[in-house]
Every structure is written in structure tokens, then in C-alpha cells.
Amino acid sequence: MHCFVTGCAGFIGSNLVDRLLQDGHSVTGFDNLSTGQENFLAQARNCPVFRLVEGDLLDLPALESAMSGSKIDLVVHLAANADVRNGPDQPRKDLEQNTIGTFNVVEAARRAGVKRIAFSSTGSVYGEPDQFPTPETAKFPIQTSLYGASKVAGEGLLAAYAESFGMQAFIFRFVSILGERYSHGHVFDFCRLLKQDPSRMRVLGDGHQRKSYLYVQDCINAILIAVEKATDKVNIFNLGTDEYCEVNDSIGWITERLGVSPQLDYTGGTRGWTGDNPFIFLDCSKIRSLGWAPKLTIREGILRTVDYICENHWLLESRT
Amino acid sequence: MHCFVTGCAGFIGSNLVDRLLQDGHSVTGFDNLSTGQENFLAQARNCPVFRLVEGDLLDLPALESAMSGSKIDLVVHLAANADVRNGPDQPRKDLEQNTIGTFNVVEAARRAGVKRIAFSSTGSVYGEPDQFPTPETAKFPIQTSLYGASKVAGEGLLAAYAESFGMQAFIFRFVSILGERYSHGHVFDFCRLLKQDPSRMRVLGDGHQRKSYLYVQDCINAILIAVEKATDKVNIFNLGTDEYCEVNDSIGWITERLGVSPQLDYTGGTRGWTGDNPFIFLDCSKIRSLGWAPKLTIREGILRTVDYICENHWLLESRT
């Protein structure tokens, strides 16, 4: 099939592109290279059935033009502002990059006659649920972050477009994703801080926030199984492991792997920042029922990520 | 208190403005007069504590400027594209008028230091629920219309702003509202069609769609009770009656009141249009627990609306 991947130079996007090409598909990638890394696409660019279009999600004509020409079987919309923590400092960014950006992608897809579209949402759309592990059918959530609000808006757009225009939608509610090319988030931040000063580290919150992580190749396997097997008009899947860890657990695994013993300075409180979910743990039995299972545990995913970051110091320096 | 009302020249907005002024509050109204009617504000404009600002929701500086000056105790954001049926013909309209418009309102309110904001959402955000009457805590819905998607996006913005910036949010999920100054929706359409040709009328769907309606003064009472009594950071209330009727029931009441006996031509199918909810019936026990109850039944609300339309033929002519 011919896939159109937004955010193709990003962490998850570039891994997905490599996998799709490896599986024999052709890929058009779309990225504005604002946070994406061109060298994540080094392997893809050697492939004749890969095409990179540099453009911005806010530029609807650019998206339309990129989707024209050869028929697209599936759009995978991964491009987003993934900076959850700093939402309140720049509230318009989530609206533009996530909500309006997603509108432009689904609208360009509609105009190009694309019938299937997949979207990376987040477990943050559940806000602070009272049900754990949280299923896709949890009660109507109250949003607690601008990021979550922008993603729930994107979900609504995909579903409404599917209903209104005869498209098929795939919505994935991710936990935090880890692995090769990971370049944003809490394991990354810890590695950077420990590289600067291995003797002590500031930890947002009390360290007892419970989080769930998924290895990027497991995430990609889940996406590919879902688009192959799910048949509803709107298909919503939680993507995570059947476990969670405390921030303190992940700090333990990271410091052990790095061979450091920092003093930990906790900022205190049950939340790392406004809108931080103190507990994310998703019920993934729906995607498991399609035959998917993650291959790596949270601990294995974190260790592999630490190794990747250690081998790619340039990434730590490129993101300040 | 000093209230800021968007959509102040609209059906619900102008009734709310009159009520607030009558209760001794001062009001700044904001409207672009695109669908609002200046003469709905005739009474308000005689009042020295009412000020009308003509401006568009997409113009953030205009909103900011309108909110500056005297301290605003409450923003009531009612302005919206309420045209549910034609969403698929102009998909960008719901995004702009509802989602981006709501962002601009909450952002302007934040910048102006406003701490309390109320928002008119819709029972359509439940999509096609499997629980009737549908409570606020129904399961995570799948959107079925661009209108519903734009309103769920607005809800998310209010909640996230409340969480992020210490504001208090009031979200009202309305059934269809009826009464004086009603100028859009299915009773309006039926009256217009029957005035053109009382001998026959085209009905979208099979007439068995079950709908719920609320009289506008009952709606306003509920809003005022909620903002007075509700104390959560994010307060979400269904607003409707504890009954529903079929489209055929409302046609019966309307034709009886008008003294006509048209032949009815049904377009067929369980939905009037793509995204039409075949059954809307909200559980309103939460707002009732604050002491609110509607004063008019659905039938009484419809009859009063028909009388209003008959006395205000100019409205039928002004909306083509």
C-alpha cells in the first residue's frame, strides 16, 4: 500500500517509515523538520519508494498538494506538538499544531479521496480517570491539560469525518512511547540531567507518579495490526503494556544502567506539573484481542532507550 | 455582577441579556450580528448598564479589547455556528466558529483575568449513546457530527483552561432550545414550510427520531442556578426536560396550532441527515439536584414557539 505519514522525521514517525518500507510499502512522508531529525530518515531516503515532502500542517494547500498524485491507501497522522508540560506557557500551540493541524490533515485526506486515516492520540485524554486499568469505554472524561484537550479535539474530528464522509478512522491512545530515536520526555530529561551532573538530580513531583511506557516497535506493531484487522468505521485502541511503574522505578533503572548514584531532589506534590497525570495505566485488552502483545517490558524499554541515548549524545545536545 | 455574553444578539443570548439586566446585573454583549438580530437587543439597548460590542470571535484582539476596562465576573460564551445539519458542506465552519472561536474566548478571558466562564455545549457530544436518559458520566463518546466534534473540543478547552489557569468552568449540554426569538431549527423549518404550502410538507427521516426540547427561560434559569450554586472547578450539566417526543409528535402539535392538515412526505431512514441523532434524551438529575426544574413541558414549549413565530413573520423571511 501507499502510506502518507505526517511527522515522518519524528521519533515514532521515522521508525514507522522504516518499517513500512521494509514491509514493501511505498511512503510519502510529510514533516516541517521543526522537531523532526532529517538523519532519522537517512535509511528511508535511500529507498526509491520513499518521498519526503517538507511542509507545515498549518498549510492546507501544501498538505493537499502532497497528497495528490498517486493514490494514498492510508494516512498515518503522527505530527503533533508533544510538549505536554509547557502547554500553559503557550496555549495557542496545542490548538494550532494539534487541533487545527489535525483538521487540515483530515480535510486534505478527504479532498484527496483517502478513505483510511490513523491518528496518534494519548492516554492523557482520560484526564484523571477513576477506573484502572482504564478502558476505551471509560466514562466521559474531563480534560486536565491543553495537550489532552487538543488530542480529544483531534479524535472528534477523525470520528466526525469518518461518519460524515464515509472514511475509516483508527485512533490510538498511547502511553509514553520509548525506544530508538526517542528524543523527548522524561527518560530523555533524566539522561540529560545526569550527564550534566551525575551527583544530583531534580525530580518533578514526589517520584510516586505512576506511568506506563511502551516500546516503539511494539507500538508500531499494534498500529499495523489494527489497520489490518479492525473493521469498524471508528476504531479506538489503547496502546500500552499491562504494567506500570513509578517515576522512582524508572530513575532506579536509568541510574543503574548509567552507573551513577545521584542524590534526588524532589520538588514535591503528587503531580510533576499542572495537568500531569499522577497515574496512567490503560486497559489494552481490545488491541490484544486482535493478536497483538508487546515484546518488551517497561524496564526493558527504558534500558534500551538509555542505551540508545548514550550512543547518540548528539541528540542530547540538539534539544535544549 | 458584570457579565460578558458572546452571541448576545442571538436567540438564547438576547434572552439571557434581558434576564441579567432585569436581575440588576451589568452586561457587555459581543456579537458579529451575522445571525444575531439587532432588534432582539432593542430592550437591552435602552438600559445604561448594557454595552454592545460588534466583533467577531475569530478576532482575538477585539475580544481582548472588549473584555478590558471594567472587571468581568462571568463570561457566558454562547456564540456558535449552530447549523448542525450542514456541517459536511462546510467542514471548516465548525472548526472556526466553534473550536477556534471558543479558544479565543477562553484565551481573552484568561488575559483579562476573568475567573469564571460558562459555555453552551450540546447533547450531541454524546454521539449515539447506549444509555438513556444519558447522564453526564456516560461512556467516552464517539463523535458523529462535525458540530458535536467542535463542541467537545470547546468543552476540553474550558476544562483545560480551568485546570491550567485556576479558572472555574461551567459546561452546559443543551437539548434543542425553544421559545421566544427562536429562529433556527426544526420547529422553525416546519413553520416556514407550512406557511409556503399548508397542504403538504417534506419531513427528513421517518418522523420517529426522538428529540428533547427545553424552553429558553427554563434554560436560562438553569444556567443562573448553576453559576450561583455549583462549586467544582469544572461543572458539567445536562440541560433538558425529563421527557422526549417524536418528530411526528411535534409535527402534530405544530399543525394543530396552525390549523393545517398537510400531507407528510417522509424522506425515510432513521436519521434526518448525516450525523442526526435518532434519539436525544438527557438525564438532568444533576442540575435538578441544585433545585432547578423546568416550568414548561415540551408540548408547551413548542406551542409557545409556534405562537411566537406566527407573531413574528419577519423572522421567517429574514432566514432563507
Amino acid occupying residue B298: I
Chain mean position to CA B182: 10
Candidate list A126, A147, A213, A308, residue with the active-site label: A147
pLDDT confidence of residue B87: 66
Chain A residues lying within 8 Å of B236, measured CB to CB: 142
According to the model, what pLDDT value does residue B280 have?
87
What pLDDT is attached to residue B275?
65
Whether the pLDDT of residue B15 is over 90: the answer is: yes
- Domains of chain A, by residue range, sit at 2-177+214-239, 181-211+243-276+298-318
**A2-177+214-239 maps to which CATH number?**
3.40.50.720
Show the 3-state SS of chain A: CEEEEECCCCHHHHHHHHHHHHCCCEEEEEECCCCCCHHHHCCHHHCCCEEEEECCCCCHHHHHHHHCCCCCCEEEECCCCCCCCCHHHCHHHHHHHHHHHHHHHHHHHHHCCCCEEEEEEEHHHHCCCCCCCECCCCECCCCCCHHHHHHHHHHHHHHHHHHHHCCEEEEEEECEEECCCCCCCHHHHHHHHHHHCCCEEEECCCCCCEECEEEHHHHHHHHHHHHHHCCCCEEEEEECCCCCEEHHHHHHHHHHHHCCCCEEEECCCCCCCCCCCCECCECCHHHHCCCCCCCCCHHHHHHHHHHHHHHCHHHHHHCC
Q: For residue B49, give the 3-state DSSP assignment.
A: coil
On chain B, the residues whose CB falls within 8 A of the CB of A148 are: 156, 160
Question: What would the pLDDT profile of A134-145 be if each residue is shown by its tens digit?
Answer: 999 999 999 999
Could you give the C-alpha distances from A4 to A31, A37, A114, A164, in angstroms and in order?
11, 18, 10, 22
* pLDDT at residue A194 tops 90: yes
CB pair distance less than 8 Å for A107 and B127: no
Q: Give pLDDT, residue A275.
A: 65
> pLDDT tens digits, residue range B66-89?
999 889 999 999 999 887 777 677
Chain A residues closer than 8 Å to B136 by CB: 140
Q: Is the pLDDT of residue B282 over 70?
A: yes
Burial of A104 (0-12, 13-18, 19+ CB in 10 A): buried
User: How many CB pairs below 8 Å do chains A and B form together?
Assistant: 128
Put simply, the answer to whether A160 touches B149 (Cβ < 8 Å) is: yes
**Mean pLDDT for the stretch of residues B54-67:** 97
Domain B183-211+243-278+296-318, architecture per CATH = Alpha-Beta Complex (3.90)
ipTM of the complex: 0.94
Nearest to A274 among B99, B156, B163 (CB): B163
Confidence of residue A284 (pLDDT cuts 50, 70, 90): very high
In chain A, the residue whose alpha carbon lies closest to the alpha carbon of B146 is: A160
Q: A149-158, A168-177, B87-96 — which is least confidently predicted?
A: B87-96
**Residue B147 annotated in active site:** yes
Query: What's the confidence (pLDDT) of residue A277?
Result: 75
CATH of domain A181-211+243-276+298-318: 3.90.25.10
CA distances (Å), A25 to each of A16, A52, A181, B14, B75, in order?
11, 15, 22, 57, 52
User: What backbone torsions phi and psi does residue B194 show, to the nearest 5 degrees?
Assistant: -75, -25
Question: For the residues B291-299, what does the mean pLDDT come to?
Answer: 97
Task: Give residue A319's pLDDT.
Answer: 61
More confident: B64 or B272:
B64
> Rounded to a whole number, what is the distance in Å from the CA of A27 to chain B's nearest CA?
28
Q: Is B132 on the interface with A (CB under 8 A)?
A: no
Query: Can you give the pLDDT at residue B271?
Result: 78
Is B2-177+212-239 a CATH 3.40.50.720 domain? yes
